[in-house]
Amino acid sequence: MSRVYRLLEPGPVVMVTTAQKEQKNVMTMSWHTMMEFEPPLIGCVISNGDYTFNILKATKECVIAIPTVELAAKVVRVGNTSGRDIDKFKTFGLTAIPASQVRAPLIGECYANLECRVADMALVSKYNFFVLEVLKAWIDPAQKDPKTIHHRGKGVFMVAGDTIRLPSKMK
Amino acid sequence: MSRVYRLLEPGPVVMVTTAQKEQKNVMTMSWHTMMEFEPPLIGCVISNGDYTFNILKATKECVIAIPTVELAAKVVRVGNTSGRDIDKFKTFGLTAIPASQVRAPLIGECYANLECRVADMALVSKYNFFVLEVLKAWIDPAQKDPKTIHHRGKGVFMVAGDTIRLPSKMK
């Protein structure tokens, strides 16, 4: 759990799943930041216009799933549509896998999945800003060099490039 | 101003400058997220152990400067040291340029600089989380393809890679 920050700190586009009654949904999101190492806290903005917003407020559970560049086209389609209109898992061929701590599903195609519960809603009414606590983290060990995607606006994405190492004292 | 989010949304490591009385300081930071498009709001975590923390609380002003990979070694040195002990601008050869709206300086070597004031401290005591409003944004037009760096933990950085375009309806 103390290494979850390494997944999100570089700023990847992620998908957020929720579930309510029999219905599950997924959205695309990239306004997020780590807020604490352990237990890992994540702050994120989910617009009150998004279908996910009220579900997350009500259920207080979600999964943050991190896709790689191979999924980029699907990630964009997820972002272009609303769960009000379609079942995005079915429409885009994403595999919903039961999570262990929350009702929101994992996404089988993503290289990492973080099961989260809402820890703080103090800034929701003013900024649509949720603080999430990561309860459980899954990583696909088969993906050795996952290339995340990073949104630059209007459908332009940067794909994760080379890795460099420097003598940092940072955690 | 409405395009500031494109600078920070991909998740680059940034530097944060502050100034108090005659002393200016700079730190390295990568826990930040966009919170609003316009006026641009940025949420970020600055630890209460950092020298910057009390200065930012008192002055309510800072500059977020975005470096490229050419500056990576200096960025790490800035992160490894404290303004309590040294003048980091002098020690690391960073050029402090007067800003227009705030007393904190721009960093001449960075490809973008965002002059900010603290807009909300509601989550500072609980999470060291500051909400900043961007007052003015500077971009170096000479840097056509700035390669930002993205922290993966313990001195491992991903350098921005290729760009892809997809038919997104996202802003």
- Separation of alpha carbons A23 and A101, rounded Å: 17
Q: Are strands A129-139 and A112-120 parallel, antiparallel or unpaired?
A: antiparallel
Q: 3-state SS of chain A? A: CCCCHHHHCCCCCEEEEEEECCEEEEEEECCEEEEECCCCEEEEECCCCCHHHHHHHHHCEEEEEECCHHHHHHHHHHHHCCCCCCCHHHHHCCCEECCCCCCCCEECCCCEEEEEEEEECCCHHHHCEEEEEEEEEEECCCCCCCCCEEEEECCEEEEEEEEEECCCCCC
Q: Give the one of A5, A149, A170 whose C-beta lies nearest to B155's C-beta.
A: A170
> What does the pLDDT read at residue A36?
97
pLDDT band of residue B31 (cuts 50, 70, 90) is very high
Which chain A residue has its CA at the smallest distance from B75's CA? A168
Q: Tokens representing A122? A: 């103090």
pLDDT digits over A99-157, tens only?
Answer: 999 999 999 999 999 999 999 999 999 999 999 999 999 999 998 889 999 999 999 99
Q: pTM of the full predicted structure?
A: 0.97
> What does the pLDDT read at residue A168?
87
**Beta-carbon separation of A163 and B152 below 8 A:** yes
Q: Any bridge partners for residue B116, and if so which?
A: B62, B134
> What does the pLDDT read at residue B144?
84
| Mean pLDDT in residue range A162-169 | 93
3-state secondary structure of B149: strand
Residue B138 pLDDT > 90, yes or no?
Answer: yes
What percent of chain A is modeled with pLDDT above 90? 94
- Environment class of residue A164 by beta-carbon count within 10 Å: exposed (0-12), middle (13-18) or buried (19+)? middle
What average pLDDT does chain A have? 96
Longest dimension (CA), chain A: 50
**Beta-carbon separation of B122 and A127 below 8 A:** no
> What does the pLDDT read at residue A163?
96
**Beta-carbon separation of B157 and A150 below 8 A:** no
Contact by Cβ (8 Å): B18, B62: yes
ipTM above 0.90, yes or no: yes
Helix (H) or strand (E) segment spanning residue B107: strand B106-107
pLDDT band of residue B171 (cuts 50, 70, 90) is confident
Which chain A residue has its CA at the smallest distance from B36's CA? A127
**Beta-carbon separation of B45 and A30 below 8 A:** no
Q: Give the one of A12, A72, A80 whose C-beta lies nearest to B164's C-beta.
A: A72
Which residue in this structure is represented by tokens 């001195």?
B155
Which chain B residue has its CA at the smallest distance from A69's CA? B164
| Mean pLDDT in residue range B80-105 | 97
DSSP string over B50-103: SHHHHHHHHH-EEEEEE--GGGHHHHHHHHHS-TTT--HHHHHT--EE--SSSS
pLDDT digits over A29-45, tens only?
Answer: 999 999 999 999 999 99
Residue A23 pLDDT > 90, yes or no?
Answer: yes
Residue A17 pLDDT > 90, yes or no?
Answer: yes
* Closest chain A C-alpha to B104 CA, distance in angstroms: 24
> What does the pLDDT read at residue A171?
83
Which chain A residue has its CA at the smallest distance from B42's CA? A31
> What does the pLDDT read at residue B145?
85
Q: Give the one of A31, A155, A166 whose C-beta lies nearest to B157's C-beta.
A: A166
> What does the pLDDT read at residue A145?
85
Measured on CA atoms in the order A38, A58, A31, A91, is the torsion positive or negative? positive
* Closest chain B C-alpha to A42 CA, distance in angstroms: 10
Residues of A in contact with B171 (CB under 8 A): 153-154
Angle at the Cα of B51 from the Cα atoms of B46 and B55, rounded to 5 degrees = 80
pLDDT band of residue B168 (cuts 50, 70, 90) is confident
In sequence order, the 6+-apart residues with CB closer than 8 A to the CB of A85 are none
Measured on CA atoms in the order B116, B121, B122, B124, is the torsion positive or negative? positive
**Beta-carbon separation of A170 and B80 below 8 A:** yes
pLDDT digits over B109-137, tens only?
Answer: 999 999 999 999 999 999 999 999 999 99
Closest CA to A129 of A138, A119, A116, A137: A119
Residue B76 pLDDT > 90, yes or no?
Answer: yes
